[in-house]
Amino acid sequence: MALPKTDNEVPPVSAQTASSYVRQMVALEEIRTGNKETALHALANNYGLGFWQLTHLYKRKAKTCDVSLFARIKTAYLDVCASMIANLQHEMTIEEAVSGDAHDEDLVAAAAALASKVAAQRAALSRSKITG
């Protein structure tokens, strides 16, 4: 029997989910920096996370992940997603200016909708940190 949900319910937290977020962020950062260790250091510095915490999560050696670390990792992940969407929207704008052709409005609208969803998740996570 499932318990009823409340507004103050803590989202499910797992080391596996945190590891997945870290691995995705490292893969993207590695493209920019050139190697995994530099990517891990950059993520640790940019988001105030511990290098060794990230390394253990990346290697899937962490057995647990506390709520506050999970929230910081998810916030970092959402920031990376928002950055990628902003870059995509910028590329669409440049392409439109260069080619003179308007982009497919459905694609532009989808990118804007995705940006809104990520912003809403970031805001909800920020609210839960403040109230939690």
13-53 pLDDT, tens digit each: 789 999 999 999 999 999 989 999 999 999 999 999 999 99
pLDDT-based confidence at residue 10 (cuts at 50, 70, 90): very low
**Torsion angle, CA of 34/38/39/41, rounded to 10 degrees?**
-170
Residue 127 is predicted with a pLDDT of 75
Tens of pLDDT, residue by residue over 104-131, are 677 778 888 888 898 888 888 877 765 5
Question: In angstroms, what CA-CA distances link 7 with 1, 19, 69, 123?
Answer: 19, 26, 21, 15
Domain coordinates in residue numbering, the chain: 15-131
Provide mean pLDDT across the span 45-69: 94
pTM of the model: 0.77
